[in-house]
Amino acid sequence: MREPRLGDDIDDYCVRCKRVMNHAVVSVMNGDAAKVRCRTCHSDHDFRHEQPPPPKVDLRKQALYNEVLKKVDPEAPAVDGLESPPPEAAETAEAPEAIAAEAPKSKAKGRGKK
């Protein structure tokens, strides 16, 4: 395959569109595309070789979440970033109907006739 030239069409992952789209080569460095421009949203970014960026996981939030889980159930294993809480936690929670029945009813004050 030949080296990319300025203006050539190339497929790449667009950071704004969040999918692989058609791009135009804007900059070439060492015989490879360095910067590209999305032909859909017209955003410029580095050439990513059709690879999406890695997911962002906030390690501090994950550590705090695991600490809270240990206080609730000390025997529970640590939960990785994107998993849901264990099914036992869902069983111990009150039903939504019971919570709604206990909630005090308040009058809604709206803009009405005076």
Per-residue pLDDT of the chain (114 residues; tens, 9 = 90+): 788 999 999 999 998 999 999 999 999 999 899 999 999 999 999 999 989 887 777 778 888 888 888 888 777 666 665 455 555 544 444 455 555 555 555 555 555 555
What is the spatial distance between Cα 95 and Cα 29, in angstroms, rounded to a whole number? 60
Which residues have C-beta within 8 Å of that of residue 17, sequence separation ≥ 6? 38, 40, 41
Instruction: Indicate whether this model's pTM tops 0.75.
Output: no
Per-residue pLDDT, 97 = 53
